[in-house]
C-alpha cells in the first residue's frame, strides 16, 4: 500500500467528522481503548501535555511546542483538523509524519480496523501515539478534537492538562450551557495531574475547581494581565492570551523538572510558525490590500476576531464567508458588521452550507453580498474589488480557509 492508497482508505472507508459531521462522532472511548491495546498502548510511554478548550487550543499547543523545541526537546504535536495536508495532524519538531509511516501504519493494521470499524479521528489519534513512541519524542503536545471527557485523545495521563476557554460550540454534543460544556472539557483533568485554566467565567469557575478538587489536582490560572506582553510571530492582539498560557504551562513544567531558560522562551515565541509549521490562524496573506485568513468558526472565536478586524481595517471591509450546515450559523452571523461587502461561498466538503442558502440567511441580518460557486471564485472577486487601503477577511470555517492557503 502506497501513501495515496493509505489516504484513500482513511478518507473513504472511515466515518470522518471533518467532512460529514455528527454521524462520524463516537460517544464513548471503547474503540480507542481497543486500538491502543492492539498497538501495545504506546501512549503510556509518552510524556504528554493535553489541551482542551473551545478556542485557542491550536495556538497554545504550537506555542508550547515551540518553547519545548527551543529548550532542546524532541517534541511531537497532534492537532486537528488539517488544512492542506493530512500529515499536518502529526508533527515532530515541525516536520510532518512521513508518507511512508502513514502507509506502513494503515497497511499493518487495516485488517484490525476492518473488524473494529473505528472513525477517521480514532485512527489518526492512534497513529499519532504510535508514531511518537516509535520516534522517541521527549514530549507530545496533544490537542483534543471535540470536547474532552469522551474525546479519543482522553486516554492519556499527561504531565499537565490545559483548558484554554469555554464557549458555546458543538452544543449538540457537549451541552447548551457554559457549565455543561465546561464539565465536558474538565473531563481531561486527571488524578493528581496539575491543570492550567487559561480563561474562565463565573459559570465555569466552580466547575473547574470542583473537578480539580475531586481529582486532587493542583489548579493554576493563567495571568491574563494585558500589561504582560510577549513578543511573538503570532499575529493578532487576541493571541496574547494563548501566548501567556503557553508560557505559564512551560513554567509549571519547569517546576516539575523541565530544563528551561528565559532565553529559550523568548526565542521560541518569535519562531512559533518556523519551529512548528503552524498555519491558518490569523494568517496575513497580503498587506495592500490587507488579506487575512482566519480559522475562527464559532461565536466565541468570531467575536474576538471581528473586534480585531475593526481595529485594523482602514478602508472598506470585504468578507469571504462560508460555514458548515451543522452549526448554528445565525448566532455567528449576528456578530458580523452590516457595512461590509460579503462574498458567500461553500467549502468543498459535504458539511458545507450551500452559498445561496447562506446568502439568504445572512440577509436577515442585513449582511448583503453575492453567492459564489466556490471559495476561490469568491476570494478572486473580493481581491479584484478591494482597494489598497481595504481589508479582505476570509473565514467562518477552517475548510474555507484551507482552500485559499
Can you give the CATH number for the domain in which 398 is found?
Answer: 3.90.190.20
Band (387; pLDDT cuts 50, 70, 90) = very high
Question: 208-216: which pairs have CB atoms within 8 A and are 24 or more residues apart?
Answer: 208/163, 208/182, 211/183, 211/186, 215/189, 215/190, 215/191, 216/191, 216/192
Last residue of a domain, one of 259, 276, 293: 276
User: Residue 183 pLDDT more than 70?
Assistant: yes
Judge if 243 and 324 occupy the same domain. Answer: no
**69 plus 154 within the same structural domain:** yes
Q: Confidence band (pLDDT; 50, 70, 90) for 91? A: very high
Residue 196: which residues within 8 A CB-CB, separation 6 or more? 160, 161, 162, 163, 220, 221, 222, 245, 248, 249, 252
Count of domains for the chain: 2
Q: Which of 276, 302, 329 is the last residue of a domain?
A: 276
Answer yes or no: do 23 and 135 share one domain. yes
Indicate if the pLDDT at residue 17 is higher than 80: no
Domain co-membership, 364 together with 233: no
* 356, 257: one domain: no
The grid coordinates of residue 321 equal 464567508
Same domain, 245 and 355: no
Is 90 exceeded by the pLDDT of residue 15?
no
In this structure, the answer to whether residues 292 and 260 fall within a common structural domain is: no
Does 58 share its domain with 201?
Answer: yes
pLDDT 10s digits, 305-360:
999 999 999 999 999 999 998 777 999 999 999 999 999 999 998 889 999 999 99
Domain boundary among 276, 298, 314: 276
245 and 298 both lie in a single domain = no
pLDDT mean over 383-388: 97
Residue 19: what pLDDT? 54
Residue 172 has pLDDT above 60, yes or no: no
Cα 31 from Cα 33, distance rounded (Å)? 5
The whole domain housing 336 covers 283-404
Picking from 302, 361, 370, the residue whose alpha carbon sits closest to that of residue 330 is: 361
CATH of the domain at 221: 3.40.1190.10
Q: Please enumerate, as own/partner, the contacts of 223-232 that have beta carbons within 8 Å and a separation of 24 or more.
A: 223/248, 224/198, 224/199, 230/266, 230/269, 231/266, 231/269, 231/270, 232/63, 232/269, 232/270, 232/272
- Please state, rounded to an integer, the average pLDDT across all residues of the chain: 92
Q: Are residues 270 and 157 in the same domain?
A: yes
Instruction: State pTM to two decimals.
Output: 0.93
Q: Do 296 and 342 share a domain, yes or no?
A: yes
Amino acid at each position: 500500500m502506497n501513501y495515496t492508497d493509505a489516504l484513500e482508505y482513511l478518507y473513504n472507508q472511515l466515518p470522518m467528522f471533518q467532512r460529514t459531521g455528527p454521524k462520524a462522532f463516537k460517544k464513548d472511548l471503547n474503540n480507542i481503548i481497543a486500538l491502543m491495546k492492539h498497538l501495545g498502548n504506546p501512549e503510556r510511554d509518552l510524556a504528554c501535555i493535553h489541551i482542551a478548550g473551545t478556542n485557542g487550543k491550536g495556538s497554545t499547543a504550537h506555542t508550547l511546542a515551540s518553547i519545548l523545541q527551543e529548550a532542546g526537546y524532541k517534541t511531537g504535536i497532534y492537532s486537528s483538523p488539517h488544512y492542506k495536508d493530512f500529515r499536518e495532524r502529526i508533527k515532530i519538531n515541525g516536520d510532518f509524519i512521513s508518507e511512508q509511516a502513514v502507509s506502513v501504519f494503515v497497511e499493518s493494521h487495516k485488517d484490525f480496523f476492518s473488524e473494529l470499524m473505528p472513525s477517521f479521528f480514532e485512527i489518526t489519534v492512534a497513529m499519532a501515539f504510535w508514531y511518537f513512541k516509535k520516534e522517541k519524542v521527549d514530549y507530545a503536545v496533544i490537542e483534543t478534537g471535540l470536547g474532552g471527557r469522551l474525546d479519543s485523545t482522553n486516554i492519556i495521563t499527561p504531565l499537565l492538562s490545559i483548558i484554554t476557554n469555554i464557549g458555546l460550540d458543538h452544543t449538540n454534543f457537549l451541552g447548551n450551557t457554559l457549565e455543561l460544556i465546561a464539565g465536558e472539557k474538565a473531563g481531561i483533568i486527571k488524578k493528581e495531574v496539575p491543570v492550567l485554566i487559561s480563561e474562565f467565567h463565573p459559570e465555569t469557575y466552580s466547575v473547574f475547581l470542583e473537578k480539580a478538587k475531586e481529582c486532587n489536582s493542583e489548579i493554576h490560572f493563567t495571568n491574563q494581565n494585558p500589561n504582560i506582553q510577549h513578543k511573538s510571530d503570532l499575529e493578532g492582539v487576541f493571541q496574547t492570551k494563548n501566548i501567556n498560557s503557553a508560557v505559564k504551562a512551560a513554567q509549571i513544567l519547569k517546576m516539575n523538572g523541565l530544563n528551561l531558560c528565559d532565553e529559550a522562551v523568548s526565542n521560541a515565541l518569535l519562531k512559533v510558525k518556523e519551529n512548528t509549521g503552524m498555519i491558518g490562524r490569523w494568517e496575513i496573506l497580503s498587506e495592500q490590500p490587507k488579506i487575512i485568513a482566519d480559522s475562527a468558526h464559532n461565536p466565541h472565536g468570531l467575536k474576538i476576531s471581528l473586534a480585531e478586524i475593526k481595529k485594523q481595517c482602514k478602508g472598506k471591509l470585504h468578507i469571504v464567508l462560508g460555514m458548515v450546515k451543522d452549526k448554528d450559523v445565525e448566532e455567528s452571523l449576528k456578530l458580523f458588521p452590516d457595512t461590509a461587502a460579503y462574498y458567500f461561498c461553500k467549502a468543498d466538503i459535504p458539511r458545507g452550507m450551500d452559498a445561496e442558502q447562506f446568502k439568504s440567511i445572512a440577509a436577515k441580518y442585513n449582511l448583503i453580498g453575492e453567492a459564489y460557486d466556490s471559495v476561490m471564485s469568491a476570494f478572486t472577486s473580493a481581491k479584484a474589488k478591494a482597494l489598497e487601503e481595504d481589508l479582505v477577511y476570509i473565514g467562518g470555517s477552517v475548510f474555507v480557509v484551507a482552500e485559499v492557503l
